[in-house]
Amino acid sequence: MQRPKSAPTPIVVDREITVSEGITVKDLSERLGVKAKDLIRRLFDMGVLATINQSLDQNLAEQVAQSFGAHTRVVTFEEEALEEVKTTEVTTATVPRAPVVTVMGHVDHGKTSLLDAIRSTSVAAKEAGSITQHIGAYAVSIKGRKIVFLDTPGHEAFTQMRARGAKVTDVVVLVVAADDGVMPQTLEAINHARAAKVPIVVAINKIDKPGAQPDRVMQQLSDHGLVAEKWGGDTVMVEVSAKQKLNLELLLEMILLVTEIQELKASPERPALGTVLEAKLDRGRGPVCTVLVQDGTLRVGDTFLVGSVFGKVRAMLDDLGKPIDIAPPSTPVEVLGLATLPQVGDQFQAVTDVVKAKQIALFREAKLREASLAKTPRLTLDQLHDQLRAGAIKELPILLKADVQGSAEVLATALSKLGDERVKTKIIHAGVGAITISDVLLASASNSVIIGFNVRPERKAADLAQLEEVDIRLHTVIYDVVDEINKA
């Protein structure tokens, strides 16, 4: 008598595995410790026809791995590459790296003049003509130590990078004119820096002018929570003149002092990791991007992945436009060798596994196409209300713009007092004037609702808000504003 065949024993995987974006069936089977044919069969049972080299969507990879009993942890390609480096290069020495500084301030307060003055004093006279080279960032030296300055077109770019998850700045230098004092854009810059949790060093500029009142500036800043060290606070403030190049060296020394506490380190031996600061299409050179190398060392000939763009470093230029072969940590460089333009704020990763990097680039490109067809909307005030009631969030972030300072202050105070033990309101920024692109970018980065009182959004800001799906509420009666937020 023939014995009946017993059913195959179910495969059980009782451990945690990492699932990276765009993982192939072959890679996933190896991580699970199961045969590729068994994984393909399981996918078929789930209604998915797959081949051994096919890339899997993150959710699908998680589902099929969990169906075998595995616990999953999802990582991006860059995170996985970083983990591999940490595992294989435990002995890699870390060395101190140069701080990266973003200069912000109100228009006409001398931000550009200060940057130019700092740069011209640090560049040899014979190289001064090269200063016209603009790559969005440059390095200066003081007493044998380097500081990298990001020459961004205002805090919009700073927040745009933060909205994309990029952390590039170690300290913000806030430029305030000694004869003009704290202005609306000054407060915007303070709030942008605070939202990014970056320390602030204040440069009180134009102290050479007859109407200069640095003490008045310090008083105004203290009203907004920035108290000077000489007044018993913890904010470093340096009185400078960009025009006469006064106290510039002292400012640089103070920047180094503030960043020393952070103990900034990098590993020069690992593959380069950085952030895209600028990207442009050059008529003669094709797609070009400025990259800040934050960790590792970038070399000509390195293969890299940046967002959904894959390429090879054909050439690199430093901040003076000179060709270089090697870019160590905290070095801004212009990179040639891209197929298409990446996004500002994209992470730049030098890679050793070329096949996998190419595969990830194609996978991300496909995901971007999908995302453009079905963009996830930002939370509206109504959706926030639902999530607050469900206890999913504990804070209601608000960006407030009003027609006059008095209204802005009254509303900010009234809204700050709203809430209970379950949820609090948080004023991300309160300012005067029309709702600008900068406001929309900050709201997008912090997932805030914009409240406008007797003001309207600028045309471009309204278009951007629609694109970013930022909720803007306009009111003309203070009670209505408070009532709407209170109901949320």
State residue 131's pLDDT score.
38
For residue 379, tell me if it sits in a domain: no
Question: From the CA atom positions of the chain, what is the Rg in Å?
Answer: 26
CA dihedral over 158, 123, 141, 82, signed as positive or negative: positive
Same domain assignment for residues 255 and 199 = yes
Compute how many other C-beta atoms are within 10 angstroms of the C-beta atom of residue 383.
Answer: 13
**188 and 255 fall within a common domain:** yes
Length of the chain: 488
6 in any annotated domain: no
State residue 353's pLDDT score: 77
Are residues 479 and 335 part of one domain?
no
For the chain of 488 residues, list the mean pLDDT of each consecutive stretch of 10.
47 75 87 92 88 85 90 77 52 83 84 86 47 65 90 60 71 92 87 87 94 93 92 93 92 94 91 87 84 94 88 91 94 90 85 78 72 49 58 74 78 75 77 88 86 90 89 81 67
CATH number, domain of 290, equals: 2.40.30.10
Listed residues 213, 241, 264: the one ending a domain:
264
Helix (H), strand (E) at residue 350: strand 347-351
What is the CATH number for 24?
A: 1.10.10
Residue 93 inside a domain? The answer is: no
Pick the last residue of a domain from 221, 241, 264: 264
Task: Provide the 10 A C-beta neighbour count for residue 392.
Answer: 9
Round to whole Å and give the CA distance between 462 and 464: 5
Fill in the DSSP letter of residue 22.
T
DSSP state of 271: B
In this predicted structure, what is the pLDDT of residue 253? 94
Return the SS3 of 328: coil
**Angle of the 459-468 helix axis to the 437-446 helix axis, nearest 10:** 20
- Pair (83, 104) in one structural domain: no
Strands 315-317 and 323-324: antiparallel
For residue 310, the model assigns a pLDDT of 84
Say yes or no: 395 and 348 in one domain: no
192: helix, coil or strand? helix
Q: Are residues 252 and 125 in the same domain?
A: yes
Segments in 211-334 forming alpha helices (H): 214-222, 248-260
Which residues lie closer than 8 Å to 42 by C-beta, 6 or more apart?
A: 64, 67, 68
In a domain, 385, yes or no: no
CATH of the domain at 165: 3.40.50.300
Together in a domain, 225 and 299: no
- Specify whether the CB–CB gap between 477 and 452 falls below 8 A: no
Calpha distance 273→295 (Å, rounded): 5
Distances (CA, A) of 36 to 8, 21, 359, 388: 16, 18, 19, 45
Identify whether residues 367 and 438 lie together within a single domain.
no
Expressed as residue numbers, the domain containing 54 is 16-87
Q: Are strands 137-142 and 145-150 parallel, antiparallel or unpaired?
A: antiparallel
Alpha-carbon span 439 to 444, nearest angstrom: 9
CA 301 from chain centre, in angstroms, equals 27
The verdict on residue 4 lying in a domain is no
- Are 163 and 345 a contacting pair, CB within 8 Å? yes
- Report pLDDT for 244: 92
Structurally, how many domains does the chain consist of? 4
Read off the DSSP letter of residue 469: T
Helix (H, G, I), strand (E, B), or coil: what is residue 382?
helix
Name the residue with tokens 């590459």.
81
SS3 content of the chain, % helix, strand, coil (to 5): 35, 25, 35
Residue 82: predicted pLDDT? 57
- Confirm whether 286 is domain-assigned: yes
255 and 369 in a single domain? The answer is no
Residue 234 lies in a domain: yes
User: In sequence order, what E strands does 112-157 have?
Assistant: 137-142, 145-150
**Within this chain, do residues 102 and 219 fall inside the same structural domain, yes or no?**
yes
Tokens for 80? 């996985």
Q: 177 in a domain, yes or no?
A: yes
H helices of 433-477, where?
437-446, 459-468
Same domain, 155 and 192: yes
Same domain, 296 and 220: no
Give the pLDDT confidence score for residue 132 in this predicted structure: 38
Domain boundary among 234, 264, 294: 264
